[in-house]
């Protein structure tokens, strides 16, 4: 097939990618229940819940306008509190979202954010997170993936203290959608599967039931796009089984169950066509058309299914069948516009007339198909997200700030040097003054001379040490810059959010976030100085830590960095899953440095493996890459603090030569050991062995 389908957020095509945030108009009486399963059951709010339930029921009939009109009439004379207002705004957000009216949907999403911002975001933290998720979903609908991800990040950050498995499911879901948009279908399938597992712990209501069947269907669709047809059929079958199992549970929602079945049949049929199972494909495709061609159902999906069936008949040289379904699709498309269907219809019309030897007409439809295809591809290229460029811009801004900070520190050292030199000059002048006034007493003069010589010697030694320290400061500054990038990146991102905020009330919250990042930066400075021997060598506090969780956090943190080079991070956790006595933050720094190095020195599209191997009295962590390896002449220098064994990464990444030295200090402070095995051109494996299991 030439045309491409997107995964459903509820149901494919006719309904745009609707998240759980803007779904109230279709399914939910609680008005856009957020990813943290917000439920407001206070006595004062039962009235609005009942109104939204009735509005939702009216929309369930397929007449979505009826729900909105009913709600507006019911609340016209009522004074609403903040949460009631928020629910109403969410309902209307979902209404316009379903109509693909992104402009009006965005107005209501912004209104949700403003409402919370001026009524204490700290008190309405969950609603504020929900509003950001809603805005992210609308931006994603508008193909603004970078801005969408910014709001997803902000929503997760706001709700960081109360995230549960159900919430993580929503986050995995959105990541999967972004991966699908970037045509990374295998990774998208894995994230949809992960979201399905996480959402199994959500409330057992209709919204969450419908989300889970959607995740199964989207997993199948992702595998189909990746060319993994057998896996796709497994998940389409799982989706049908799941829907059938719940047919009798939500008797007033059968309208949606039927549409969902029609969408899954479509996916099944298309996969059967890929595999050459034409008879099975014909049966399920006709089932899908029979369901979704009904009035008020998903006629957009029905159009595409008709064209899949027409394409099947073209493949099997059934010209009559091809002609019949092309006419059926044309009748539907004349009433309801569908760009993807229009492009596929012209392609098949071209093939039809080419088969029937009408060359002129064949060329006419080929030309129309090519123009539509060029238009769609141009639109996609203009609207595709460029997360990599965004990250580069943020990194550039951070580098400028680092250079400014470095200049301030240099000025401080220069000032210190001037002060010490001045004091030395004063001491020398004072000594000369004493000499001139003690000539009469030779013994005193000799004593003073000795004293002056001693002071001079001490001063020279101090000046020599100061010069040496001054030479080392640039090296220490590199260590500071190396470890301060992440917190300063957070400060930069939050600052950008402040600049983009339309509501004054939310600025205080963002400033608090900046303070947190600044405090983290100060803590990092102290730790780096300690690692460099600049502070007292006090032992870091240790605690029992689950290594599998620590490895998982490090891998997830760097997964997007690996994705910039189309690399895969593969985690092999410890089978015993024991706790180990370590300083969690410092060992996390070791892991991050090793994984970052593996990403830096591996090629585009390669894999990186992170393993935890349980020994009798210790734990071994292995970070294996298949990159450029380490040359023989540099192997004995890589752990030096200011090593000359520095090389550019495979994509020109800038080296500092500090990370492995810090790793070695941290591991040895834990009475552990670190080493590596490397073969140039084939890759490198770093090993960290820690005691205290």
pLDDT at 424 over 80: yes
- Determine the average pLDDT of the residues in 249-264: 81
Q: Is 544 exposed, middle or buried (0-12, 13-18, 19+ CB in 10 A)?
A: exposed
* CA pair distance 364, 353, nearest whole angstrom: 10
Residue 481 main-chain phi, psi, to 5 deg = -60, -35
pLDDT of residue 384: 41
* pLDDT tens figures, 609-656: 999 998 888 899 999 999 999 888 888 888 876 555 567 778 776 565
DSSP codes joined into one string, 123-178: TTHHHHHHHHHHHHHHHHHTT-HHHHHHHHHHHHHHTTTS--HHHHHHHHHHHHHH
CA dihedral angle for residue 432, residue 433, residue 436, residue 438, rounded to 10 degrees: -100
* pLDDT given at position 617: 85
* DSSP code at position 184: -
What is the average pLDDT score of the chain?
Answer: 78
Contact 28, 88 (CB under 8 A): no
In sequence order, the 6+-apart residues with CB closer than 8 A to the CB of 568 are 187, 562, 606, 607, 608
Tokens matching residue 647: 């090389």
The confidence score (pLDDT) of residue 324 equals 92
Structure tokens that stand for 506 in this block:
């939310």
Q: Quick one: which of 355, 344, 359 has its CA closest to 311?
A: 344
pLDDT-derived band at 478, boundaries 50, 70, 90 = low
| Res. 123: pLDDT tops 90 | no
pTM: 0.45
Q: Which of 321, 268, 315, 263 is closest to 292 using CA atoms?
A: 263
Average pLDDT over residues 463-482: 64
Cα 592 to Cα 579: distance, rounded to the nearest angstrom: 19
pLDDT > 70 in the chain, percent? 76
pLDDT score recorded for residue 303: 87
Task: Tell whether the torsion through CA atoms of 25, 30, 31 and 33 is positive or negative.
Answer: negative
Given the DSSP bridges, would you call strands 579-582 and 607-614 parallel, antiparallel or unpaired? Answer: unpaired
| Alpha-carbon gap, residue 313 to 348, rounded angstroms | 10
- How far, in Å, are 19, 101, 189, 364, 612 from residue 215 at the CA level? 12, 24, 9, 40, 31
Specify whether the CB–CB gap between 416 and 507 falls below 8 A.
no
Contacts of 124 (CB under 8 A, 6+ apart): 82, 83, 86, 116
Residue 535 has pLDDT above 50, yes or no: no
Mean pLDDT of 34-59: 62
Neighbours of 31 (CB within 10 A): 32
Q: Which SS3 state, helix, strand or coil, does residue 622 take?
A: strand
What angle separates helix 659-669 from helix 507-531, to the nearest 10 degrees? 70
Can you say whether the dihedral through the CA atoms of 422, 428, 429, 430 is positive or negative?
positive
Four-point Cα dihedral 475, 553, 19, 80, nearest 10: -80
Quick: pLDDT tens for 349-400: 898 888 888 878 888 888 888 888 887 766 554 344 444 444 344 344 445 5
pLDDT of residue 161: 61
The band of 175, judged by pLDDT with boundaries at 50, 70 and 90, is: confident
What confidence score (pLDDT) does residue 160 get?
A: 62
Instruction: Map out the domains of the chain with their CATH numbers.
Output: 1-163 (1.25.40), 391-531 (no CATH), 543-691 (3.30.565.10)
What integer pLDDT is reported at residue 405 of this predicted model?
59
- For the segment 242-259, the average pLDDT, to the nearest whole number, is 80
pLDDT of residue 576: 85
Burial 119-135 (b: 16+ CB within 10 A, else e): bebeebbbbbbbbbbbb
pLDDT at 365: 87
Q: Do the Cβ atoms of 385 and 355 come closer than 8 Å? A: no
pLDDT of 529 reads 60
Per residue in 305-319, pLDDT tens? 999 998 999 999 999
Q: Has residue 246 got a pLDDT over 60?
A: yes
Please tell me the least confidently modeled range out of 89-93, 204-208, 219-223.
204-208
**What is the Cβ-side half-sphere exposure of residue 393, based on CA atoms within 13 angstroms?**
8
Residue 219 pLDDT: 94
Predicted pLDDT of residue 455 = 82
């Amino acid at each position: 097939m030439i045309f491409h389908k997107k995964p459903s957020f509820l149901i494919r095509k006719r309904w745009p990618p609707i998240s759980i945030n803007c779904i109230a108009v279709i399914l939910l009486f609680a008005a856009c229940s957020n990813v943290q399963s917000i439920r407001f059951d206070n006595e004062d709010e039962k009235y609005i819940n009942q109104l939204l339930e009735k509005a939702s029921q009216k929309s369930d009939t397929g007449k979505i306008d009826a729900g909105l009109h009913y709600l507006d009439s019911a609340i016209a004379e009522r004074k609403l509190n903040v949460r009631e207002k928020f629910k109403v705004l969410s309902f209307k957000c979902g209404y316009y979202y379903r109509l693909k009216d992104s402009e009006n949907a965005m107005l209501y999403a912004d209104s949700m954010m403003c409402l919370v911002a001026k009524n204490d975001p700290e008190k309405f933290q969950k609603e504020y997170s929900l509003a950001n998720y809603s805005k992210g979903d609308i931006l994603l609908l508008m193909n603004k993936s970078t801005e969408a991800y910014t709001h997803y990040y902000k929503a997760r950050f706001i709700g960081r203290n109360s995230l549960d498995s159900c919430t993580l499911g929503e986050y995995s879901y959105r990541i999967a959608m972004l991966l699908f948009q970037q045509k990374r279908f295998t990774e998208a399938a894995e994230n949809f599967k992960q979201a399905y597992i996480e959402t199994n712990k959500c409330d057992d209501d209709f919204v969450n039931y419908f989300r889970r069947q959607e995740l199964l269907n989207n997993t199948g669709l992702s595998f189909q796009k990746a060319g993994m047809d057998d896996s796709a059929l497994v998940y389409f079958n799982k989706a049908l089984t799941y829907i059938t199992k719940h047919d009798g549970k939500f008797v007033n929602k059968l309208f949606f169950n039927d549409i969902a079945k029609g969408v899954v049949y479509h996916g099944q049929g298309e996969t059967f066509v890929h595999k050459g199972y034409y008879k099975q494909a014909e049966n399920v495709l006709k089932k899908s058309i029979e369901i979704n061609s009904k009035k008020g159902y998903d006629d957009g999906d029905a159009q595409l299914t008709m064209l899949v069936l027409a394409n099947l008949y073209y493949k099997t040289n059934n010209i009559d069948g091809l002609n019949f379904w092309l006419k059926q699709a044309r009748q539907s498309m004349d009433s309801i516009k569908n760009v993807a269907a229009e492009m596929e219809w012209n392609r098949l019309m071209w093939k039809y007339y080419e088969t029937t030897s009408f060359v002129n007409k064949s060329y006419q439809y080929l030309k129309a198909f090519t123009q539509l295809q060029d238009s769609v591809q141009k639109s996609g290229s203009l609207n595709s997200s460029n997360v990599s460029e965004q990250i580069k811009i943020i990194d550039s801004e951070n580098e400028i700030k680092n250079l400014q900070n470095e200049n301030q520190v240099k000025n401080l050292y220069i000032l210190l040097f001037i002060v010490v030199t001045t004091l030395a000059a004063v001491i020398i002048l004072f000594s000369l003054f004493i000499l001139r006034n003690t000539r009469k007493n030779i013994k005193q003069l000799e004593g003073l001379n000795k004293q002056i010589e001693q002071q001079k010697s001490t001063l020279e030694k101090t000046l020599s040490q100061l010069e040496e320290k001054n030479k080392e400061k640039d090296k220490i500054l590199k260590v500071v810059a190396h470890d301060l990038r992440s917190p300063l990146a957070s400060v930069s991102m939050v600052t950008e959010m402040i600049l983009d905020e339309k509501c004054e009330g939310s600025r205080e919250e963002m400033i608090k976030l900046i303070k947190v990042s600044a405090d983290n930066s100060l803590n990092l400075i102290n730790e780096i100085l300690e690692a460099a021997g600049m502070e007292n060598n006090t032992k870091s506090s240790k605690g029992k830590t689950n290594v599998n969780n620590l490895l998982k956090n490090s891998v997830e943190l760097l997964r997007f960095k690996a994705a910039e080079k189309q690399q895969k991070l593969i985690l092999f956790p410890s089978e015993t899953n024991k706790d180990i006595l370590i300083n969690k933050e410092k060992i996390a720094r070791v892991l991050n440095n090793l994984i970052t190095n593996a990403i830096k020195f591996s090629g585009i599209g390669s894999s990186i493996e992170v393993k935890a191997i349980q020994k009798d009295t210790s734990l071994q962590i292995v970070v294996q890459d298949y990159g450029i390896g380490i040359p023989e002449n540099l192997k004995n220098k890589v752990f030096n603090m200011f090593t000359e064994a520095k090389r550019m990464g495979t994509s020109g990444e800038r080296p500092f030569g500090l990370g492995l030295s810090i790793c070695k200090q941290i591991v040895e402070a834990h009475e552990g050991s670190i080493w590596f095995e490397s073969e140039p051109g084939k890759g490198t494996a770093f090993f960290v062995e820690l005691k205290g299991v």
